Structure 1
Amino acid sequence: MLTKTFLPQSVAREIQEMIQSGALKPGEKIPSQREFSQKFGVSRASLREALLTLETLGLIKTEAGRGTFVTDPSNVTKPGMAPWRYSDSYSVFDVFQTRIMLEGQITELASGRLTANQLDHMEQATKQMEDCWANQDLIANVEADLSFHDTIVAACSNAMLRALYQNVRDQLTETQRQPIPITDPERMKASIAEHRRIIAALRDNDGPLARREMETHIRNTARCAGLQP
């Protein structure tokens, strides 16, 4: 049985497959939330979470008063990012700025504590990111990215920093989805190279370098989103 945490992601993956297979065509209006929630056997809350993920990734777009439609690349002159879903509490700029400080420190404190298996997992997650981007499996691409970062957090020596990360994880990880619609292949290639430099620094137990590499990686992601934190 799927846990509550993973249920929306499972539904999002199924809808992404419907889009990629042509079952849902570009420009087509998707079924109502009632119909879709019944189809997948999930609550409307879980379905809404899945749809928010797909909209952030640029696969669907909600138009006020009209409904939600599959994105049609042929009708999009310049792709844009979805509205920032946490704007009532924090700006995306603030979240990126926090990520730089928090994940930079966490990465330095994880240095020397990551096992060989964890480092190998990070290598595999980075390769999965690369492969899934090539196949345009955007959900799996981001999931691999999240797994990479989560592995570092799990090895951090400071329990309070780990707890702080978990408390704001939804906002932090949204910044990993947000730039996807405007990420070009060269930026993704650079992002993957940045992951590998972080791994190399951690394999060498060079905490200060790992921190700098992580901070640079997050700043570059922010720049992709048009920000300069």
Structure 2
Amino acid sequence: MLNKTLLPQSVAREIQTMIQSGALKPGDKIPSQREFSQKFGISRASLREALLTLETLGLLKTEAGRGTFVASGGGQAANMAPWRYSDSYSVFDVFQTRILLEGEIARLAAGRLTQLQLDRMETATRTMEECWAAQDLLANVEADLEFHGVIVSACANAMLRSLYQTVRDQVTETQRQPIPITDPERMQASISEHRRIIAALKQGDGAKAREEMETHIRNTARCAGLTP
């Protein structure tokens, strides 16, 4: 049994491993939340969060009145999961906000990142590429979050950093949601966009960093079928 202090992301990783190893096969109905929460030693609320993360990534599929099943596409589903935050913001709203917020954050971070931070971004980008090839979707998105988070940490404006944190859950979901319909060419393009952002930040070119970040987020939104 896993330690009870483990976060939902750790449990999501365990379930992803079960799917990849064949312990849970495509079409299998996953055990009840009661059984699974006991197996992993976590609350049902934490388990639900883990299951929602895997559903967003296209590894699980919930059918009303039937339960939750392992998706047949192995993470390459025909459709994206339902948007989790529709009661408060549309996915379009979040992408539009990301363009404005992260574009300005990138501009203000340009020239301020240490070599260690730039190295972390390079490592995160390389990890994204490697984990996509291995279809470790959780680690792919975690590396993407690391990349964007480093830029935020270097932003000169404390209020913008705080604003980013207040919408981080919604931002994270826009980074996960397109994954099931992302083809290899788009993922490779996204990785190239990351490297262009790094180059602009390293050069201290705020206008270019903003432009590259805005382009990157717009392209991700297009992958999700949106044009913000």
Deviation at 1:73, TM superposition (A): 2.1
Equivalent position amino acid for 2:57 in 1: L
Give the Cα separation in 2 of the matches to 1:208 and 1:83: 35
Give the Cα separation in 2 of the matches to 1:50 and 1:97: 27
1:186-225 matches, within 5 Å, as 186-225=185-224
Q: Does residue 14 of structure 1 match 2:14? A: yes
TM-score, L = length of structure 2: 0.96
Give the Cα separation in 2 of the matches to 1:82 and 1:21: 23
The alpha-carbon distance between structure 1 residues 212 and 85, as it changes in their structure 2 partners (threshold 3 A), is: same
Equivalent position amino acid for 1:58 in 2: G
Deviation at 1:130, TM superposition (A): 0.0
Deviations 1:56-105 (A, max 9, x none): 0000000000000000129x9x6100000000000000000000000000
1:47-126 matches, within 5 Å, as 47-73=47-73, 79-126=78-125
Deviation at 1:161, TM superposition (A): 0.3
The alpha-carbon distance between structure 1 residues 41 and 100, as it changes in their structure 2 partners (threshold 3 A), is: same
Give the Cα separation in 2 of the matches to 1:213 and 1:105: 11
SS at match of 1:73: coil
Give the Cα separation in 2 of the matches to 1:151 and 1:123: 11
Contact 2:91–2:174 (Cα < 8 Å) also in 1: yes
Deviations 1:14-46 (A, max 9, x none): 000000000000000000000000000000000
Equivalent position amino acid for 1:155 in 2: A
The alpha-carbon distance between structure 1 residues 227 and 26, as it changes in their structure 2 partners (threshold 3 A), is: same
Give the Cα separation in 2 of the matches to 1:11 and 1:219: 31
Moved over 2 A (4+): 1-4
Q: Does residue 148 of structure 1 match 2:147? A: yes
**Could you tell me which residue of structure 2 aligns to residue 46 of structure 1?**
46
TM-score, L = length of structure 1: 0.96
SS at match of 2:69: strand
**Could you tell me which residue of structure 2 aligns to residue 161 of structure 1?**
160
Give the Cα separation in 2 of the matches to 1:125 and 1:92: 25
Give the Cα separation in 1 of the matches to 2:4 and 2:32: 24
Unpaired runs of 5+ in structure 1?
A: none
**Could you tell me which residue of structure 1 aligns to residue 131 of structure 2?**
132
Tell me how large the CA RMSD over aligned residues is.
1.6
Give the Cα separation in 1 of the matches to 2:4 and 2:210: 33
Give the Cα separation in 1 of the matches to 2:60 and 2:218: 27
**Could you tell me which residue of structure 2 aligns to residue 24 of structure 1?**
24
Equivalent position amino acid for 2:53 in 1: T
Equivalent position amino acid for 1:55 in 2: E
Give the Cα separation in 2 of the matches to 1:80 and 1:3: 34
SS at match of 2:156: coil
In the alignment of these two chains, the number of paired residues is: 226
SS at match of 1:68: strand
Equivalent position amino acid for 1:105 in 2: E
Contact 2:200–2:206 (Cα < 8 Å) also in 1: yes
Give the Cα separation in 2 of the matches to 1:120 and 1:218: 22
**Aligned residues with identical type, % of pairs:** 79
